[in-house]
Structure 1
């Protein structure tokens, strides 16, 4: 199984420009043969390219240093040095690139589409050969310049998953069971908190070309916005979603309190996240112990979908409601 890595820090450097050359032609009647030193080649750029078949940043866990090729030095006979090859670094779609400088992070790019590219570091220009310095007053210059250094940066890469719908809720509320019920995704499922240690994505197909991507986000707890439990490590993955399914375990005594705890964590983390369209789904209605909370939630909220992710009861109606909300917000720009 591929490990899910959603954050990495790397060092990158573009290629240095090649040096200019000092050389002279050996021709009769030409002072000192005439200058013939060529310019140096440009250093290669460092370019990030988003690829849809890459799912994780795990490659950067094993390699943290990347350098593009240097430009070649100029040569005699006015031969310009070859430019260094660009270094193209593939990353998952949804990768956000920031530069770390003096302990501060500054946003550089968000590669949210397959094939999107960003030149993160430019190669240095090649130096000038002595042929470039020939003038009416200096027919045989012995001057050449060094190539410029390529840019180098220390970067932070963050992966924000691209899904239409994010399922949020406390650990063990049934998120993994629900995503396995509505899609072909098969996450690890067990009856204890934090079974899901990485977001799972599935595709829901309602028929008639009605499909959407759903993400099962690891369980949130009080203090998640400050990093408790699995912390805000996974909150970033629901920033891009159009709709949130807030899944509540109705079999626990404090179900309503847990619902409001999660809402509070979303508000602390991001006002934008807090204001996203939310569909409340009360889970585990197949258990007798859930009956009291079913009545409580009916009284508290106008629209609640009561389901059993285990048996499938009410799940179809929930997914149809999700599809309606997605369509309502589909054309609205996402700022996540």
Structure 2
């Protein structure tokens, strides 16, 4: 049963303002009477709040419609109607809110506790006491409360992770994250075992951590939406460093050089900005047979970049990969921006697909 969802389309409806009331005083001690109709109450607004307690759009997408309460009508004796409470909807940090009909981005809720009023509550109507003048002393006029705003919204979640794992299906990403964190992704020898992002916390040394995201595997044409397409690629955008994992085992499904070139091409076609992100090329499934060194050297010579070798199953080379990623992330933290993983994510030690962290000594 799916426990993660990164897209949802919903309707939000703010509450109507309460109507003003027409009323006149009838007390014995006020023989001349006079208007005493009160104003209505304000309608409730719908507010989205970024919360560290929510990690998926699953529950929001199931509900479909969010409706705030209406304001109460005014009463006699100048009594104001009750204003409705705002409806506050908690969404994951990193949620992008779009107006579904116009297609414009309303807000990127990238900071914990950041809020956005997505539908403003209706204004209260005025009671007849508001219309009394020296000329019109007994007005029989009141106004109705206005309708609250209503919108259809499209929500998209971009994960906050410091390290994103890139690679074609069966490249070894899931095995790697299960080795370094307490995340438990599905691991099997067939494509797309990772159908939803898995996030884990890897400890580096005694005092630091890295938030690592195992993202669904790519195929050619992902930049045009093939396979998991944009559902995969948008989660990469907030990562500070990308680990491009390439299977160099004798049983690899495709030539390592071709795999490396194909994935790099997908990134460039999807986003030139994304293609400029710091990346480490990692050869997976090394140390497991006698020919791994030659295959790693061939890959390194062909692509022209430094390639780190590791075996997640044997645990060899894993520390070196984490330290290299950690060095880039911490250097990038010297100039922080909203696109990176926030401190709360590391401090809380839990996220979708993880139950804690596993220490990797430095």
Q: Scaled by the length of structure 1, what TM-score is found?
A: 0.95
Match of 2:182 in 1: 184
**Shift in Å at residue 333 of structure 1?**
1.9
**Shift in Å at residue 302 of structure 1?**
3.8
Match of 2:272 in 1: 271
2:239, 2:339 within 8 Å by CA — same for their partners in 1?
A: no
Q: Distance in 2 between matches of 1:277 and 1:238?
A: 12
2:8, 2:155 within 8 Å by CA — same for their partners in 1?
A: yes
**Shift in Å at residue 278 of structure 1?**
0.4
**Shift in Å at residue 335 of structure 1?**
4.5
Distance 1:258 1:334, change over 3 A: farther
Match of 1:172 in 2: 170
Match of 1:318 in 2: 321
Match of 2:122 in 1: 124
Q: Distance in 2 between matches of 1:2 and 1:89?
A: 21
Larger RCO of the pair (alpha carbons < 8 Å, separation 6+): 2
**Shift in Å at residue 233 of structure 1?**
0.8
Provide Cα deviations, 1:34-82, integer angstroms capped at 9, x if missing partner.
1101001000010112222222111133210111010000011000000
CA RMSD of aligned residues (A): 1.7
**Shift in Å at residue 264 of structure 1?**
1.3
Match of 2:158 in 1: 160
1:31, 1:139 within 8 Å by CA — same for their partners in 2?
A: no
Any idea what SS the aligned residue of 2:97 has? strand
**Shift in Å at residue 130 of structure 1?**
0.5
Provide Cα deviations, 1:134-171, integer angstroms capped at 9, x if missing partner.
11111111110000110100001111111101000101
Q: Distance in 1 between matches of 2:125 and 2:68?
A: 18
Match of 2:343 in 1: none
Match of 2:54 in 1: 54
Q: Return 5+ residue gaps in structure 1 as ranges.
A: none
1:1-336 → structure 2 map (5 Å cutoff): 3-27=3-27, 33-101=33-101, 104-251=102-249, 252=252, 253-285=254-286, 286-288=288-290, 290-299=292-301, 300-330=303-333, 331-335=335-339
Q: Scaled by the length of structure 2, what TM-score is found?
A: 0.88
Provide Cα deviations, 1:270-312, integer angstroms capped at 9, x if missing partner.
2221111101101111244645431222323342111112211
**Shift in Å at residue 32 of structure 1?**
5.6
1:32, 1:140 within 8 Å by CA — same for their partners in 2?
A: no
Q: Distance in 2 between matches of 1:289 and 1:89?
A: 55
Q: Distance in 2 between matches of 1:290 and 1:108?
A: 50
Distance 1:326 1:107, change over 3 A: same
Q: Distance in 1 between matches of 2:133 and 2:280?
A: 75
**Shift in Å at residue 225 of structure 1?**
1.1
Q: Report how many aligned residue pairs link the two structures.
A: 334
Q: Could you tell which deviates more after superposition, 287-296 or 157-166? A: 287-296
